Amino acid sequence: MQEVVCQKDDLQPGEMMESTFGRHSIVVCRSSNGEYYAFMNRCIHQGAPLSKGKLCGAPEPTDNVGEYNFVKEGDILRCPWHGREFDITNKGCMLANEKLKLKDFKVMVEEDNVIVYK
């Protein structure tokens, strides 16, 4: 099964949108480097619609206590309800626990179409 979920130009790097794949609500994301990703539009914690969250970055500690670098801008999907964060470039793995991850779908781009498939 495969389905066109949006057009390539519908999303700029660091943006996301809600779409459908079959009967499923999905969130389609475009990473900071321009790659497309698709996930079930439900947080694994309590089912929040991830499309209502945001794509952002994450703090990373430095060698100096209390100082952080901000990394992966536009690649972290933050849940709108409880702030759980998922790395879209790492199969939707949760930042705090890589064993937990979002249900992801395969994505390909053909001409101007973004296509999700199983």
pTM here?
0.92
Largest CA distance in the chain: 50
Regarding the domain delimited by 2-117, which CATH topology (the fold level of the hierarchy) does it fall under?
Rieske Iron-sulfur Protein (2.102.10)
Q: Which residue has the higher pLDDT, 56 or 70?
A: 56
- Domain ranges for the chain, please list them: 2-117
Q: What is the mean pLDDT of residues 31-49?
A: 97
DSSP-based helix, strand, coil % in the chain, nearest 5? 10, 55, 40
Q: What is the mean pLDDT of residues 55-63?
A: 89
- Over 90: is that where the pLDDT of 66 sits? no
* Upper half-sphere CA count for residue 29 (Cβ side, 13 Å): 33
User: d(Cα 19, Cα 79) in Å, to the nearest integer?
Assistant: 17
